Structure 1
Amino acid sequence: MSNSSYKGPVTLDRYTRISELGDTLHSLLNKGIPIVGIIILLLVLKMFLQDAPGWLGLLWIGAGTCIGLLVWHSAGIGLPLLPLLAIQHFAVYGIPLINRNETLADYSDTLRDRAGMEVLILMVVCSISWRFGMQLFRPSPPVAHTLRIFVTEGNKVLNRLGVALILTSAGYELLNTLHLTSAVLSLFPAGTQSIVVAIIGAAGMSGYFLVSMFIASGEAHRNTRTIFGVVLVSHLILMTASILLSSVINIIGAVTLGLFWGSGRMPKMFLLICAITLSFLNIGKFEMRERYWGASGQVTTNVSIAKFPAYYWEWAGYSTNKIFGQTDDYVGKKNDNRQTMLSRMDNMQNLLYVSNKVTVEKTPVLGGETYSLIPPLLIPRILWPDKPRAHEGQALLNVHYGRQSQADTFTTYVAWGLLPEAYGNFGPIWGAVILGVTLGIIFAWIENATAAKPLLSLEGMVTFSLLIGFAASFEMVSSVLVTSLFQSIVTISMACIPFVQSTSVIRPEESEAESE
């Protein structure tokens, strides 16, 4: 389906296909790609005129981003995993160069330029492989496993279902804040607790996506909009109270996708409010962690919901003091190195680190060892209680390349990302090539397999889970990404299979038109 077939916001019902929603992105890219290209060129020009290190690397990264967007725009028919990869990699590899992050200061201009070239190679190979895969695979037939309730009752049940899902997820978070979840989860068999938590998380993301999509399309009831706003804000407050701001990314991502697909426009105001709020809280989070976290890195001072106003007022005070250059004597000198929201998204330091280890210090590559760990990790823990941890591949990289000792890997996780992991396994160029071919073929297969499936089906829910999971994967190694996606797919399938039936997803009016 080309961008020329776009006909405006899609009709939201049980027949709405993922391919129809993909058309919305085609419309956005018509004007978006030239704008992105101009912005990238201006940023590169600015760095060049300032003689800033890494301008050439940024040019390569920007070129890879534009190639990924253009290739998908020319032949994409559904789930936009390729453009997501392109934007994601510009953010986590390009923005650190633009910001001149201190984490990059010890690396030469040559290494930075080579790192940018690695990103370009990845995007070019991934785009070519995806294009080949789109020719190799064919879209699946318009038949899917739809929830029976959608078939019998149609749209009238969607508001109730969406609200029920977000209330379930927010209710679990409330119980967790009240320290009541442990008692409830202990009632389940050993090894199944993680499955229950995953089901609740998937239900919450699906609910937020579903309700926000109908709100954006103007089809939600007024009461639904009110409940949605109250529950969303309350849920985010409960989650950020842990001082782990990254914990809210999945919910914000689900709402953003729902608002975008429901209206055909990017929810700029919602994103702006989220960005400002999280950035403000991020400024003071280190003081709050020192105040409320213990040596183990966990919250040790229990804050009741009744004390939330004072708790967040204190947090706002730390952030405000930092903005205006004031410091609190209580905090001491432990937080001299601050981490902004943008510096948090920094995979470039990981790519430069492993590049330096391999090309300068001549550390041997792993030859695919981290990928060989994946198959055993797919065995449910209920069947193998002592199976390796999901972060085993990440730990192997950190120990092999001297970032951590084996003991340290059990207390602190040092992130890597897919491209640095591939580099650490196969070295320069080949790592990007192998990763690009793999991702490109997988993306093409998923896009063809899901394009004709309705959003409100088992296949649609699994697809949405894949999209959200991959969007949040920029720091993950393959073992963590695959196991988390596998767990989501299994839990969603287990929850839905008893309530689905195989149905056609062709709208009645389309069927009548074809018969005529």
Structure 2
Amino acid sequence: MSVAFPSRPQEIFNQRRLLQGFWFFVALCVAWGVLLGKPSTWAAPLGAGLIAVTALLPGYLWCSGRAIGFPLFPLFALTYLGAYGSPLLNGHERVAEYGAIEQLIASITVAGFLGLGTFVWWLFVHKAPPLPTVVRAFNPRQGEPFFWFGLLFDTLFMMSLQGQWLKVPTAVFSTLRATSNILGSTSAFGLTYLWGQKMLSSQKRFILIFILAISIMVRMSNLLLNNGMPILFCALVGFLLGRKQVNWRFWVTLGCIMLLLGLLHVGKGELRAKYWGEGVNLQPWDYPARYSEWLDNSFQKLGEGSDGQDTSTELTATGSLMQRGSLMHLLLFVQSKSPSELPFLNGVTYLSLPSLLLPRVLNPDKVWSHEGNYILNVYYGLQSVTQVFQTTVGWGLLNEAYANFGFIGCGLLALVVGGGYGFIARWSYGCPVFSARFMYMIMLTVGVLSTEWSASVYVSSLGQTTSLVVVLAYILMKPQPLRHSSIAPQGQVV
């Protein structure tokens, strides 16, 4: 039995099917910036434009067929459009506190980082490498059931956390939770990818939508919207890359999801004040009442308006959600403080990275994965030592790099990120969806889409991901010979 994958011309054709959707997305971004933008300085539109060009360039190179492999870096760059470009135009209050020159310098920092990262990434992916002849992969009869198992396991495990069903040691719990998160996001991507390739029946598609909705609801039931984002984003990206085409149904679905998330974001404040002090003990039959109350509170907030005036537009919800995803204000903040007031950290937040590669089961004294965020928040006075263990502010890789080494740190990060994602894309090129290499890429997608992760969170997740893939590859997978085909879709076994 052998696994077939498409020829390079067929792959380019498939990628170029996304080019129309890419330009439509660009047009939407431009229209939003022109019609709804509220820049605070003359430099804000200029800076947002620089960031937009460098954030969208990798996506264009990939969609136009000028780059091979899985688009890890294009997805990573695209997140910077929302985290750094959008806050310059959407009237973010903390961004508006800084002057035009400061905003321009921060924008050039982001654009330079993305530009250098794109160049390094392109060096790896502008030309197809020799195709592998053998890869470790699931038998097709095992691959799809594994994804279903992973999604169900994650859903039930998260239910058990909300309902306090499990009593396990801390080290075991940490490993179980990390495994659950990885399996859930990977399975959501894998199944929607198969859906995109038209390899799921209509009954399976309906079941998948139902389980995904339940999984996301369970994750967000503690009133933290970010908890549901990894699975949601992985599912959307998986379908998009599997289908290799963007139609109006996808845009309508995405718009409805954004409006619903924005609506939930508006009403979460009062519910947090009401429920967070009581501890977590939410059973499955409590979810309908929780979400009904949540939505009622959101509609009430929208009707009243944040300033006591009447407003009935959904823009309040989506605008609030977009401000929540900003990292630009942190970059402006750290550039205003270092090195003029506080010296650079010179790598302090990176010292714990080697120990984070091992799972907590093998390393009981392992530091917390958010160690980098803790150090940054306390050092820059955003939180006290006590506060960081209650809820912490996510800094993101770029802001952390600047806090440690300034502009040099941003450049070094571009080399690492661009080179790393380029190497992985090249290494996994031509591998089927059920292979260890392709699944490793899927798991890395979670980190790519998590803009607030610091290096310590990312490396901890990387260690857990690598360990899980190694176990799967050498215990459940077997070597599978590959053969070239210009007809068979990726992952089809012949």
TM-score with structure 2 length normalisation? 0.85
Q: How far off is 1:171 after superposition?
A: 2.4
1:39-72 deviation per Cα after TM superposition (whole angstroms, max 9, x unaligned): 5666666669996551221122123224333444
Match of 2:373 in 1: 394
Q: Given that residues 73 and 418 in structure 2 are in contact (C-alpha distance below 8 angstroms), is that contact kept between their aligned partners in structure 1?
A: yes
Query: Aligned runs of 1:382-421 on 2, under 5 Å?
Result: 382-421=361-400
Give the Cα separation in 1 of the matches to 2:26 and 2:485: 42
Q: For the residues of structure 2 that align with 1:41 and 1:275, how far apart are their CA atoms?
A: 18
CA-CA distance at 1:499 after TM superposition = 1.6
Query: 2:469 pairs with 470, 492, 512, which one?
Result: 492
Could you say which residue in structure 1 is the equivalent of 2:15?
Answer: 26
Partner of 1:175: 160
C-alpha deviation, 1:374, in angstroms: 0.9
C-alpha separation in 1, matches of 2:39 and 2:289: 48
1:216 aligns to 2:196 (yes or no): yes
CA distance in 2, matches of 1:112, 1:437: 24
Separation in structure 2 between the aligned mates of residue 420 and residue 319 of structure 1, nearest angstrom: 32
Bigger Cα displacement from structure 2, 258-267 vs 118-127: 258-267
Aligned pairs, how many?
473
* Equivalences for residues 110-509 of structure 1 within 5 A: 110-134=101-125, 138-139=129-130, 141-147=132-138, 149-150=139-140, 153=141, 160-182=145-167, 185-186=168-169, 191-266=171-246, 267-294=250-277, 300=279, 302-325=281-304, 340-358=320-338, 361-427=340-406, 429-472=407-450, 474-506=451-483
- 8 A Cα contact 1:17 1:454, kept in partner: no
SS of the aligned residue for 2:97 comes to: coil
Contact 2:124-2:419 at 8 Å conserved across structures? yes
Rounded Cα–Cα distance in structure 2 between residues aligned with 1:204 and 1:471: 15
Report the alpha carbon displacement of residue 480 of structure 1 after superposing the two structures with TM: 1.1
Return the alpha-carbon distance in structure 2 between the equivalents of residues 78 and 225 of structure 1: 26
Q: Give the match for residue 90 of structure 1.
A: 81
Shift of 1:128: 1.8
Q: Aligned partners of 2:408, 2:5: CA distance in 1, in Å?
A: 40
Same amino acid, percent of matched pairs: 25
Q: Quote the residue 1:104 is aligned against.
A: 95
Residue 449 of structure 1 aligns to which amino acid in structure 2? W
Identify the residue that residue 4 of structure 1 maps to in structure 2: none
Hey, what's the Cα distance between the residues in 1 that align with 2:153 and 2:370? 29
What is the RMSD of the two structures over their aligned residues, measured on CA atoms?
Answer: 3.3
Deviation string for 1:59-97 (max 9, x for gaps)? 221232243334444631111122112211111001111
- 1:465 Cα deviation (Å)? 0.3
Offset of 1:349 from its aligned partner? Answer: 0.7
Question: Would the aligned equivalents of 2:43 and 2:101 in 1 still touch at CA under 8 Å?
Answer: no
**Deviations along 1:336-377, whole A, 9 cap, x unmatched?**
x99921111100011001010025x34211222222321122
Call closer, same or farther: CA 1:30–1:454 in 2, change over 3 Å. Answer: same
Deviates more, 1:282-291 or 1:162-171: 162-171
Deviation at 1:144, TM superposition (A): 0.8
**1:481–1:108 distance in 2 versus 1, CA, 3 Å:** same
Q: Give the structure with higher Rg (CA).
A: 1
Letter in 1 for 2:122: R
1:420 Cα shift? 0.9
* 8 A contact 1:146–1:500 mirrored in 2: yes
Task: Find the residue that maps to 2:194 and give its secondary structure.
Answer: helix
Deviates more, 1:109-118 or 1:233-242: 233-242
Indicate conservation of the 8 Å contact 2:51/2:111, yes or no. yes
User: How far apart are the structure 2 equivalents of 1:39 and 1:508?
Assistant: 37
Q: Which amino acid aligns with 1:324?
A: G
Identify if the C-alpha distance between structure 1 residues 439 and 419 changes in structure 2 by more than 3 Å, giving closer, same or farther: same
Segment drifting more, 408-417 vs 433-442: 408-417
The amino acid across from 2:226 in the alignment is S
Q: After superposition, what is the alpha-carbon deviation per residue over 1:106-134, rounded to whole angstroms, capped at 9, x for unaligned?
A: 21111111111001111111122223344
CA distance in 2, matches of 1:301, 1:379: 29
Structure 2: where are the runs of 5+ without partners?
309-315, 489-494
Change (3 A) 1:118 1:21: farther
Report which stretch shifted further, 402-411 or 450-459: 402-411
- CA distance 1:387–1:169, shift in 2 (3 Å): closer
User: Which stretch has the larger CA shift, 382-391 or 103-112?
Assistant: 382-391
Q: Which has the higher contact order (CA 8 A, sep 6+)?
A: 2
* Distance in structure 1 (CA, Å) of the matches to 2:294 and 2:487: 56
Range with greater deviation from structure 2 (19-28 or 434-443): 19-28
SS of the counterpart of 1:503? strand
1-structure distance, mates of 2:209, 2:32: 37
| In 2: Cα distance, 1:233 partner to 1:18 partner | 36
User: Distance between the aligned counterparts of 2:17 and 2:92, measured in 1?
Assistant: 31
2: CA distance, partners of 1:28 / 1:75 = 13
Q: Would you say the 8 A contact 1:143–1:502 is kept in 2?
A: yes
Q: Provide Cα deviations, 1:305-350, integer angstroms capped at 9, x if missing partner.
A: 33333322221211111111179x9xxxxxxx99921111100011
Structure 1 17/393 Cα, relative in aligned 2: closer, same or farther at 3 Å?
Answer: farther
In 2: Cα distance, 1:292 partner to 1:311 partner: 10
SS in 1 for 2:483: coil
Amino acid at match of 2:378: V
Contact kept? 2:4, 2:482, Cα under 8 Å: yes
Q: Distance in 1 between matches of 2:353 and 2:280?
A: 37
Determine the C-alpha separation between the residues in 1 that align with 2:161 and 2:223.
Answer: 15
CA 1:304–1:498: 2 relative to 1, 3 Å: closer
Q: Where does residue 8 of structure 1 map in the other structure?
A: none
Q: Could you tell me how far 1:181 is from its partner in structure 2? A: 2.4
SS of corresponding position for 2:136: strand
